[in-house]
């Protein structure tokens, strides 16, 4: 796949949680589209790649994704708040 875009996978769900909070949703989108200049010192670990066409070349082990996704989830909470406590987002 010729990569057209790469963004932190966890931020899709995070955005949906804060979709009704314009200020927070804008901050989440800003982080999603520019993860290399993160507002946090730690790096994102699990990305989604979007393109017009893709070919699957190998499957990664589930524990690799789960462990790294958990770290990204914790980073999202640090940056934007715990979206399962007291938010009114579409999924929360």
Per-residue pLDDT of the chain (92 residues), as tens digits, is 676 788 999 998 888 888 888 999 999 999 999 988 778 888 999 998 888 887 888 877 767 777 888 899 999 999 988 866 545 544 43
**Helices and strands counted in the chain (H then E):** 3, 2
What pLDDT, on a 0 to 100 scale, did the predictor assign at position 84?
Answer: 63
What pLDDT, on a 0 to 100 scale, did the predictor assign at position 90?
Answer: 45
Does residue 85 lie in a domain region?
no
Contact criterion met (CB below 8 Å) for 31 and 85: no
Does residue 87 lie in a domain region?
no
Q: How many domains does the chain have?
A: 1
Q: Which pTM value belongs to this model?
A: 0.73
Does residue 47 lie in a domain region?
yes
Contact criterion met (CB below 8 Å) for 20 and 41: no
CA gap 4, 65 in Å, rounded: 22
Contact criterion met (CB below 8 Å) for 18 and 64: no
Does residue 23 lie in a domain region?
yes
Does residue 65 lie in a domain region?
yes
Q: Which domain holds residue 53?
A: 5-80
């Amino acid at each position: 796949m010729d990569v057209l875009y790469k963004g932190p996978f966890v931020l899709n769900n995070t955005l949906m949680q804060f979709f009704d909070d314009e200020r927070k949703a804008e901050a989440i989108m800003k982080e999603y589209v520019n993860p290399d200049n993160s507002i946090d010192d730690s790096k994102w670990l699990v990305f989604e790649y979007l393109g017009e066409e893709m070919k699957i070349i190998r499957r990664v082990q589930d524990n690799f994704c789960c462990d790294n996704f958990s770290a990204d989830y914790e980073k999202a909470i640090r940056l934007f708040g715990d979206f399962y406590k007291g938010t009114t987002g579409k999924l929360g």
